[in-house]
Structure 1
Amino acid sequence: TIDGAWGSARALAAAVFVKNCEGTLTVVAPRASDVDELAVDLAEFLGQEPAIFPVIDGSPANWRMSDPQYGQRLSLLKQLTAVGENDRSIPCLVTSIEALMQPVPSAEQLRQFSRPLSVGDEIDLDEFSRWLVERGFERTTAIEFPGEFAIHGGIIDLFATDALQPYRIELFGDEVESIRTFDVGSQRKIETLNSIELTLFPTASAPGKKEFSPAKEFSQHLSSYLPTSSWFVLSELQELNDEGKLYLDRLEDRTGLFHVKGAIEACTQFPSVSISAISIGSLEQSCELRTESIERFAVGDSDPLLELKQSLAPDEIVLLCCLNEGERSRLTELIQEKHPDLISRTRLCLGRCSKGFRLVSQRILVVGDHELYGRRDVRPNQKKRTLQTRAIDSFLELSEGDLVVHVSHGIGKYRGMKMIDAEERLEENLVIEFADNLRIYVPVSLIHLVQKYVGASKALPRLSKIGTNTWSKKKEKVSQAIEDMAADMIRLQAAREAKVGITYPADSHWQEEFEAAFPYNETPDQKSAMDSIRDDMQRPRPMDRLICGDVGYGKTEVAMRAAFRAMDGGKQVAMLVPTTVLAEQHYRSFTARMAEYPFNIEMLSRFRTAKQQKEILEGLKAGSVDMVIGTHRIVSPDIKFKDLGLIIIDEEQRFGVKAKETLKRLRLEIDILTLSATPIPRTLHMSLLGIRDISNLQTPPRGRQAIETRIGRWDQELIRNAIVREINRNGQVYFVHNKVYDIEDLTDKLQQIVPEASFGIVHGQMSEHELEFQMLNFVTGKTDVLVATTIIESGLDIPNANTIFIHQADRYGLADMHQLRGRVGRYKHRAYCYLVVEEGKVLSTTATRRLKAIEEYSELGAGFKIAMRDLEIRGAGNI
């Protein structure tokens, strides 16, 4: 045993053993949440990322092969079967006690249920399709998620459970001609392969075959796959025991699981080391790693570098781990300006350190930059499946029977795809049916000539007749209407061009440092949006730009950079948000991100006392407040700015007419940046027409998973199972109910369904103190389920909350449902959204269409598609 290992020192000690272990060193953490932290630190100390063996949500009896963790485990087991004795291809593996208690198939079962497939092999398409269905695969028209397959003529698309990307298998007759991986969204080839191995276990009863259940069929421990020269490192042995027992207590069905004692004993059959922060003194040999924990730094107005200096012992030096070059550059500058006496005692290095510690004997204090400023530690993304989408492909997806518009022939019906032999070459074609059952075939290479029909009216249009001039006459009428609209647009544009706006200078040194300190890699769409905003703000005319991006796609960072540019240029910034809860969250995010710069950021909401509000108003008037974040209060007539340069509006559609009129008057004079996940139809329509500038954020963050969306009637068993499953993986749940008068009765009802869960309630009629208290309980994990009105709709970022129920979902608009659904799935876990409708209620046609649309568009980046569907369902309105 090694005692006295605090913070990231545990990973440092484990890394030393990795260097000396001839097989695989497996580090076991007490909780699934600790696995990421250990993996980040080990990657830093080892110079390469360790493998991760994850826990699967729920009991083995309920496992589904579409679960990403199921596929991740299967992929790792297959890699381990290929590892020979003293093979160092997987030098380090990190897992949790929960994952070790879950059984794995034997190596023999892996072989038995694997099917190799190579170029040149012959396959019977019917037999292969049947084989997939028996193993739980679902046949669809177009694949999107693991566990789906589609067959189009001689092409098989297949998303295997353990694959990062789907496979496309092309046949020539019965022979496999090519195998390649491809991107689901763009359909573009990623990699050509000679062979693949499909490992699929039967999941349902098939005629003449017994039902296969992992709970009954899997009986092996992970250690059975490891080389005999492997070692184990057990982090906090007592916590491993306690957390393992808690895990079993939380599950109703424990069939197939190992007991904690058995899971740990399987590890100790190998050479093993227990690492602990405090002495447990129970194992044969022990030594002490003399490290100490460090105190948390105060967040807010205090100077963390001064606190750091005061915490240093004589002759002690600081190793300050910076996430990137931008952060290191800024901290170097701050130390030189404010604390020159720290220069000789500080070493700034590029790297991560999840939790700081003190190496007592070496007189070194190790700390991460995120700890100094109270920011959340950013974890590098593991290799995960990503579903990339292109705008034109994603929101114009076609189902058979959909109306389409051909640029030359008019409106027709999409009738599927057909392979046609053209000049001795097979080519896929879209089949489009026009009036009088006349069909044309459009090669995929000319797909840009076809778009999905999106109408502002509920009435279906007539199919066009080919060979007549009706369509060309309609196009002429539309051209004239567009010319008339263009005249209005020119008048509006001329008024904006005539106004001399604010011209900001080129990027300053601070701006470059601030942008370089962003802890993630920018997506191409973010870069494009930021470039457009930079150009807008450097032009003399006022900016009016809409940033349309799905929840969690980086709109806030785009807004932060625009705000920073304005404040750096000596101007004030106002950020208008729809709710007090969101104002509080944005305030925390902006102050943490800009903590190293001398900008005074304040918040105006009912969380502030009358005295505080008065001081903020005086500061805005005098110019001592650089940025204010608040609700509609900040557009009140009594608020005076000394030199306002930029207004940022988050979710413009949530504000009333009065606030919008105030903003319209400002639009001709001040830069306006609007953020929205699902803009209202008219806003979207105006942006698509070019009346307002638009930037689309379409690229999902790496590793983000789509939210699984389900529609159902009120069902106590379903509600209980979903809440218990989320709590079992140490997660939290939102339950949205938009009626204040009976929200407490509903909470009592839920408490009876899930008595072991703790509940909190939030709504807009609560006092500031009570609202803040309940939200803080949820944020800190003291509350399992938050029953709330739509006050939680915008912008809340609680990574641990990954299940949401929307009660009486038929009463919500599309954008509202999408925004609410966006409260979950913001971290690495698969998230679930349940749209609950009352028993026996008859739904209107419009409500049914809305629910179907939100269920259909559950993949990443769906916000823009939902806005397009809203445009179709509600109409655009007159401009």
Structure 2
Amino acid sequence: MKSRPTKAKRTLADFIRGTPVDFPDELSEELAEQVSLQTTQTTENQIEKPAAKTSTRKKRSTAQPSPLNEVSTEPMTQAASPIPNPAPAFLDAIAELPDFRSALDRWTKRETFYWDGAWLGAVAPLACAAQKLQRRPILVLVAHHQDAETLARDIEFFHEESCWVFPPGSEETDGDALQQQEVIERLQVLAQIDRFRIDPAGTPPIVVTTLQALMCSVPSPDQLRNDRRVLQVGKTVDLAELKKWLADSGYRVTTAVQMAGEFTARGGILDVYPPDAPEPYRIEFFDNEIESIRSFDTVSQRSIQRLDRVDLLAAKEATREEAILLDYCNDRWMVLFSEPTAGLHHAAAFRARIPFPERFRDPIEVYQQLQKYPFAQIGQLAAEGYSGDLIRVPISDVQRIGGELENIPKEIDACLSADRRAVIVCINDGELARMQEIIQTCQASQTGRVLLVVGLLSSGFEIPGGAFILTVNQILRRAMLKRSSRKHASRAIDTFLDLRSGDLVVHLSHGIAIYLGMEIISKDGQKIEHLMLEFDGGTKLYVPTANIDLVQRYIGGTKTRPKLAKIGGQAWARQKQAAQSAVQDMAAELLELQAQRRAQTGIAFKPDSIWQKQFEASFPYEETPDQLTAIEATKKDMVSSRPMERLICGDVGFGKTEVAMRAAFKAVESGYQVAVLVPTTVLAEQHYKTFRRRMAEFPFEIAKLSRFETNAQQNETLKKLAKGQVDIVIGTHRLASTDVKFFNLGLLIIDEEQKFGVELKERIKKTASQVDVLTLSATPIPRTLHMSLVGIRDISNLETPPEDRMSIETRVVRWNDAMLRNAILRELNRDGQIYFVHNRIEDMHSVAAKLQRIAPEARIVIGHGQMAEHGLEQVMLDFIEHRADILLATTIIESGLDISNANTMFIDEADRYGLSELHQLRGRVGRYKHQAHCYLLVDRNKHLNPDAARRLHAIEEFSQLGAGFGIAMRDLEIRGAGNLLGTQQSGHIAAVGYELYCQLLDQAVRQMTKSPLKLSLDVDIQLPVEAYLPPDYIQDMRHKIDVYRRISRLQDIQSIHQMRQELDDRFGKLPQSVQRLLEIAELKMDATLWSIKSIDLQNQFLRFTYSDQRRIAQLAQKHAGKLRLVEPDMQAFWSLADPSDPNISELLAKIDLLAVLRAILHW
């Protein structure tokens, strides 16, 4: 239902048309009332959601214009009142232009014409204005898929609903992750279009695609509707048949559903994520009857909301009936083709280079089919020989505003002469607030002729005689960021979950053993699952899974296999004691160093200012929780008077640079200079651009010192540094030269610190002994070690990956020309780029010739560290600006390159690299939301040595996001622990295992810092009670071990209650054996509080061993003598039955031992 135009909306429309308008004082109140707030209805069916869920592609983008902001005529110290979205008013103003009306009339009458003088940014407002007037769906074609994503963001700024992007297909049929992702995205769009075709109510859609994508075969509309299953609560469905249908319909079987097109079954519970669904569904069966349907969150795996019915769309593009996207578009659709000549050329080139072109329609044939619809073409210039009419686009590009920060108010005033108006689009509220300050001296702003709004738009335009719409990116002349949100914190990788038969483990009481697997053993008629361990001499120990916390995976950091422990021997106790003494000495040394640092007087930087808050608010992403923690800890260190020395650890692309930039901003605002030390010229260049882009709205002078600068440029920078005219300098080891003098250095940032030698780092620190030091490391330390060092080292760990990023498909392959060609073409076909890493400079040109022979279509450039400065800079620039398809380079690209369009990497002779180096290189791809591939190439005839094979297997295995922690642990296994804690400690780690070592270190640190000790729940409970996870309840071994481990680490009653709810939700109703497992976990908590170490059954007695005479005496007193103490043996006994009773066996069999224990131990 249309609302009556309010005074605020009418005034805003007049403002954009250029009609004289006053801004009365009461307008702000009326405008504020018009803000449309999205509310969430909570129904009785709503289930409490454990965490905010991640959005799906087809939902309304978070990048849409949010509540918008008017510039106040008062002094601008804060964001002004929100106003309605001005986009509809701009569309109305365009729709009233006679030239636009004339062109639209020809378009709808199917008359041929070409809108010329257009740029990509003009397509969205013109398409949206046409859609708003005609109320018809529009298909917009662009030349390249990259342009499609940019245009879709622009359309979402102007359009009332989400814009759908239809991606190109692949000629591959191997069903890998990339192809599956493309299939899912296409099916999502097809389902949405078909839904609108059947029920055309609501706002007509706008679909953006390419001619290449239109050539791809898809299921016919009838096939799409028929290839689906409808499931409803209370209906009977054959679960086995349904699982077969899902597998046959393209769904991938997985252990935990994370992405569309996946499913998994656990007993009577089926999790499935249809391609067109906003969330996955959890369907619970009782026999073959559907008992409940719930949506659930992919991160927490917990249910969100109950549903009555769901549709499951097939997840593959079986084409029994040949069709293309146009077969879904009826005659109501209109078509707008942007840069058709380039689009035709690109589509023809694609079809010419694929091995099976017959699978795709001919581009000319599709182009002709497009002209059966109301068809218009738009672009900068029509093709030579075009015979149709040329019509100039009715809006103009805006390029004359922008440049130096101090000149922006004057340029805006010059542009907005004669009462012209402007709307300036800012990325977020922080950028809006800063822009208000920048333009407050502007005459146009003071007279109410400038509005600031929040949204995402690639470029602005001018309405003849009306208003301008500008973007801050245009004004500051910076590239538009690809904005996305972030994922919620994910649990760190638990290396114990990768335990395989034959691996070494550590039993806390008995020492090192071999893990043989898990086995359910019946004892006294009760089934209990055990871990089987083998010790020295073949002695086997069966550990109940209720005591799984007593077993750790052994990681010793030594290449020699340790000797197995002997049960009952004294050697293990001596090794533990020696390790304990060593960690106490190390903790004492680290605490002494920390005390010395805190005794020094350094710089106390200022608290956060308005500028600092504006700068932080302008960050175009949502910070992760651990990123916020790191930022707060860093700023807290900086405002204190002691010199900071903080280490920021985080995996590739997890947000370390933003932490550093916020620290740098604080230092400069406090009047100090900042030095950023990086290992390579490439990273220096990358950081220079990143810092300048982020700080473009602030009057900071940022310079660089590296090989890319001439001697004259370096000398000029050195002079400015010495005079205090440079605020932030970013450089390589050149910064450590003796001729570098600072005027007032306050903060040193060392990035990729693992790449620098100790001597260089110490030399730099000596030149600035009192400055704050922030160190960034892309090799994350294992989480357990990090937690152990908290309190004696200032460390922040970043563990959360960006949203939209997918894990990198990693494969170890022998060199094969056909495989290389297919992989290269697949990347080129999606307009992507490729890294090829080859680390021998002497034969790089021969490798380039080989690649050119394999893929003659590809444009190849070569880059390495021995090139002339400007030659390497030009190569990097060519690749960044997509003038090259393949960058053949040495490991110089390992640090810092952030090119979102490069999503395939080949690492030649991968067996020559270290594990962390392979992980760092691989991190250069997959920087945006596209599926990335990394191929580890090995010579076809080469025999790999065991260490190289283990490294390659590890990097292939750990390909998920956040895998750096798993990589660090595996690196610890392969290379040793000396690099983490020093060679003196590596022997003790080898003796007792890494995890136990960290526990001992944690205890030592807590004792010395007088921190509360962690509650240790290593109580050994051995009772003839069935307490385990049945095989038919949790089938996947990793999930089973994960649940056992998590239950063993529960610390309070609330966490037990939450675990019970989670198991019931994810796996179904808890069997009695699982209930007992949780009861035993609760009993361990009670037993720990009474200092009880073990509980078992001895004849008719419950036997307790204990460690604290005073506590057990209190327990005995509580039960008035029923608990008999045997003090010399530190044991206590509770009689369950009279031994003289002839029916004692029957009596004992009927006793609920856990209930008895609850009564005894209840706190």
Tell me which interval the TM-score lies in, with the shorter structure as reference length. Answer: 0.7 to 0.9
Q: Is the CA contact 1:687–1:693 (under 8 Å) kept in the aligned structure 2? A: no
Matched, 1:93 2:196: no
Any idea what SS the aligned residue of 1:771 has?
Answer: helix
Deviation at 1:198, TM superposition (A): 3.8
Distance 1:820 1:416, change over 3 A: same
Number of residue equivalences: 855
The structural deviation recorded for 1:844 is 1.4
Give a deviation string over 1:112-138, Cα, whole Å, max 9, x none.
433444555666666555555555666
Instruction: Tell me the amino acid that sits aligned with residue 353 of structure 1.
Output: L
Aligned positions of 1:394-433 closer than 5 A = 397-401=497-501, 403=504, 432-433=531-532
Letter in 1 for 2:427: L
* Matching residue of 1:35: 148
Mapping for residues 522-601 of structure 1, pairs under 5 Å:
522-601=623-702
In structure 1, the residue matched to 2:1095 is: none
Residue in structure 1 matched with residue 962 of structure 2 by the alignment: 861
Matched, 1:244 2:344: no
Aligned counterpart, 2:804: 703
Q: Deviations over 1:79-129 (max 9, x none)?
A: 343333432266333222222221210133224433444555666666555
| Distance apart, 1:730 and its partner CA | 1.4
Partner of 1:843: 944
1:394-793 to 2 correspondences below 5 Å: 397-401=497-501, 403=504, 432-435=531-534, 436-442=539-545, 452-460=553-561, 475-663=576-764, 665=766, 669-679=770-780, 689-690=789-790, 691-793=792-894
Distance across 1 between alignment mates of 2:268 and 2:232: 16
Corresponding letter in the other structure for 1:432: L
1:529-553, CA deviations, whole angstroms, 9 ceiling, x for partnerless residues? 1111111112222222222222222
Structure 2 partner of 1:71: 184
How far apart are 1:43 and its partner, in Å?
A: 1.2
C-alpha distance in 2 between matches for 1:245 and 1:805:
27
Amino acid at match of 2:718: L
* Residues 23-62 of structure 1 mapped to structure 2, 5 A cutoff: 24-58=137-171
Tell me how far 1:403 sits from its aligned partner. 5.0
Moved more, 689-698 or 285-294: 285-294
Q: Give the letter for the 2:809 counterpart.
A: E
Indicate whether 1:114 and 2:228 are aligned: yes
Structural mapping, 1:222-241, within 5 Å: 222-226=325-329, 229-241=332-344
- Taking the aligned partners of 1:114 and 1:65, their CA distance within structure 2 comes to 23
CA gap 1:153/1:447 in 2 versus in 1, 3 angstroms: farther
CA distance in 2, matches of 1:677, 1:417: 37
Q: Name the SS for the 2:842 alignment partner.
A: coil
Q: Over aligned residue pairs, what C-alpha RMSD do you find? A: 3.7
CA displacement at 1:873 relative to structure 2: 1.7
Query: What amino acid does structure 2 have at the position aligned with 1:295?
Result: Q
How far is the alpha carbon of 1:316 from its aligned partner? 3.4
Q: Do 2:837 and 2:907's aligned partners in 1 also have CA atoms closer than 8 Å?
A: yes
Whether contact under 8 Å (1:179, 1:195) holds in the other structure is yes
Shift of 1:774: 1.5
The worse-fitting range, judged by mean Cα deviation, of 59-68 and 224-233 is: 59-68
Q: Which moved more, 1:35-44 or 1:287-296?
A: 287-296
Partner of residue 256, structure 1: 359
TM-score, normalised via structure 1 length: 0.88
Q: Is the 8 A contact 1:617 1:640 kept in 2?
A: yes
- The structure whose Rg is larger is 2
Cα separation, partners in 2 of 1:848 and 1:702, compared to 1, 3 Å: same
Residue 462 (structure 2) pairs with residue 358 (structure 1): yes
2-structure distance, mates of 1:838, 1:176: 54
Question: Are 1:409 and 1:466, in contact at CA under 8 Å, matched by a contact in 2?
Answer: yes
Per-residue deviation, 1:780: 1.6
The equivalences for 1:180-219 within 5 A come to 180=294, 182=296, 186-200=300-314, 214=318, 217=320, 219=322
Secondary structure (helix, strand or coil) at the match of 2:439 reads helix
Secondary structure of the 1:76 match is helix
For each residue in 1:429-472, what CA deviation from the matched residue of structure 2 results, as whole angstroms up to 9, or x when unmatched? 985333444434446xx987775443222345577788999877
Runs of 5+ consecutive residues of structure 1 not aligned to the other structure: 203-212, 422-426
User: What is the CA-CA distance between 1:78 and the residue it aligns to?
Assistant: 2.7
- Name the stretch that deviates more: 328-337 or 817-826: 328-337
CA contact (8 A) 1:803 1:824 kept: yes
Tell me, in whole angstroms, the C-alpha distance in 2 between the residues paired with 1:91 and 1:469: 75
Structure 1 CA distance for aligned equivalents of residues 496 and 763 of structure 2: 36
2:798 aligned partner, one-letter code: L
Deviation, 1:571, is 1.3
The 1:419–1:355 alpha-carbon spacing in structure 2 relative to 1, beyond 3 Å, is farther
Maintained 8 Å contact 1:183/1:387: no
Q: Is the 8 A contact 1:529 1:558 kept in 2?
A: yes
Counterpart secondary structure, 2:875: helix
Change (3 A) 1:176 1:677: farther
Residue ranges of structure 2 left out of the alignment (5+ in a row):
1-102, 105-114, 986-1163
> What is the Cα deviation at residue 521 of structure 1?
1.8
Tell me the CA shift for residue 157 of structure 1.
5.2
Post-superposition offset of 1:144: 6.2
Contact 1:794-1:819 within 8 A present in 2 as well: yes
Q: Shift of residue 305 of structure 1? A: 4.8
Secondary structure of the corresponding residue to residue 357 of structure 2: coil
Mapped to 2, the partners of 1:417 and 1:132 lie a distance apart of 31
Change (3 A) 1:65 1:671: closer
Does the 8 Å CA contact 1:414/1:433 hold for their aligned counterparts? yes
Counterparts of 1:321-336 in structure 2, within 5 Å, are 321-336=425-440
Residue 284 of structure 1: how far off its partner (Å): 9.2
CA distance in 1 between counterparts of 2:511 and 2:281 reads 36
Residue equivalent to 1:347: 451
Task: State the shift of 1:317 in Å.
Answer: 3.1
- Tell me the CA shift for residue 765 of structure 1: 0.8
> In 1, Cα distance between the equivalents of 2:749 and 2:933?
31
Cα distance in structure 2, aligned partners of 1:74 and 1:430: 45
Alpha-carbon distance between aligned partners in 2 of 1:448 and 1:767, rounded to the nearest angstrom: 58
Give the secondary structure class of the aligned counterpart of 1:756: coil
Amino acid at match of 2:217: P
In structure 2, distance between residues paired with 1:498 and 1:646 = 19
8 Å contact 2:808–2:933 — kept in the other structure?
A: yes
CA distance in 2, matches of 1:60, 1:735: 24
Once the two structures are overlaid, the 10-residue window that deviates more, 78-87 or 621-630, is 78-87
Tell me, in whole angstroms, the C-alpha distance in 2 between the residues paired with 1:470 and 1:230: 81
Distance 1:139 1:20 in 2: 46
State how far apart, in whole Å, the 1-side matches of 2:805 and 2:428 are.
22
Q: Distance in 2 between matches of 1:687 and 1:580?
A: 34
Using the alignment, how far apart are the partners of 1:299 and 1:765 within structure 2? 35
Which has the higher mean CA deviation after the structures are superposed, 623-632 or 257-266? 257-266
Q: 1:835 to 1:688 in 2, by over 3 A?
A: farther
More displaced stretch, 57-66 vs 773-782: 57-66
Answering whether residue 426 of structure 2 is matched by residue 294 of structure 1, we say no
The secondary structure found in structure 2 opposite 1:526 is: helix
Q: Provide TM-score, normalisation by structure 2.
A: 0.67
Q: 591-600 or 300-309: which moved more?
A: 300-309
Distance 1:695 1:80 in 2: 47
Letter in 2 for 1:323: I
CA shift, 1:587, in A, is 0.9
- Which whole-Å deviations, capped at 9, do the CAs of 1:248-305 have from their partners, x for residues lacking one? 3343322232233443444444444444455799899986542222337676788455
Aligned to 2:481: 378
Once the two structures are superposed, residues 512-535 of structure 1 have per-residue CA deviations (whole angstroms, 9 ceiling, x without a partner) of 111111122222222121111111
